[in-house]
């Protein structure tokens, strides 16, 4: 039987797909309907109220808008974004089981590992920080200062509101390019802007699986 993982704030399932590839049975939870969710089960519910019993491991991707650099963009400054990392950490630590919390640079995470698309030969940078309570090796971070978005297929997959009015910021706006860059083919364009590449959690999931097996 596959180990069972609970994916909180799952969206359409970018993280879920990676854990599935690593060998997990994944149950997703999101406060909004997710008709394109790719996991094994889905529940529409508040992540901070969903029962945690019966799982071998947990992943949470709480909203990042209140932590990232885009919170300082003029279209975002007046918005009140939830800051849920501390709450979700306390909630999951109480299970005394393996957990992963994912977010952006600037989020108050206990740094465990940072992943970038170039580490996996993707055409997107998509830096993300992962807090874990088990060992994950930090991959080498390829140099990419000279990479220019829009050249050689490199994309910056962002929501339109994040760059509205910024004419100096150019990025390919074709959905098929975003799909290829992220290696995701089941989401809408907006869902892509909220997702991370599945290969990130596939990488972490392999370490998580080893950790679970070692504890049996």
Is the Cα dihedral 8, 115, 68, 147 positive or negative?
Answer: negative
pTM across the whole model: 0.86
Under CATH, what is the fold of the domain 4-214?
Answer: Rossmann fold (3.40.50)
- Indicate the domain borders of the chain: 4-214
- How large a percentage of the chain has pLDDT more than 90? 59
Give the residue-averaged pLDDT of 110-114: 88
Q: Tens digits of per-residue pLDDT, 24-80?
A: 999 999 999 999 999 999 999 999 999 999 999 999 999 877 556 555 444 445 566
Q: Which two tokens stand for residue 160?
A: 């339109």
Q: Is 160 helix (H, G, I), strand (E, B) or coil?
A: helix
């Amino acid at each position: 039987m596959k180990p069972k993982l609970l994916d909180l704030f799952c969206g359409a399932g970018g993280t879920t797909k990676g854990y599935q590839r690593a060998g997990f049975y994944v149950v997703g939870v999101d406060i909004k309907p997710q008709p394109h969710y790719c996991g094994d089960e889905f529940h529409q519910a508040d992540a901070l109220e969903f029962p945690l019993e019966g799982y071998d491991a947990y992943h949470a991707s709480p909203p990042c808008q209140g932590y990232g650099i885009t919170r300082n963009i003029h279209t975002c400054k007046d918005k009140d974004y939830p800051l849920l990392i501390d709450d979700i950490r306390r909630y999951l630590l109480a299970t005394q089981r393996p957990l992963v919390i994912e977010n952006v640079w600037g989020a108050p995470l206990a740094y465990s590992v940072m992943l970038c698309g170039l580490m996996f030969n993707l055409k997107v940078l998509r830096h993300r920080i992962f807090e874990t309570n088990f060992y994950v090796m930090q991959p080498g971070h390829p140099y990419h200062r000279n990479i220019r978005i829009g050249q050689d297929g490199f994309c910056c997959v962002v929501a339109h509101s994040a760059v509205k009015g910024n004419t100096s910021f150019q990025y390919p706006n074709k959905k098929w390019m975003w799909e290829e860059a992220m290696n995701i083919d089941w989401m809408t364009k907006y869902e892509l802007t909220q997702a991370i590449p599945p290969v990130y959690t596939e990488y972490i999931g392999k370490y998580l699986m080893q950790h679970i097996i070692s504890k049996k």
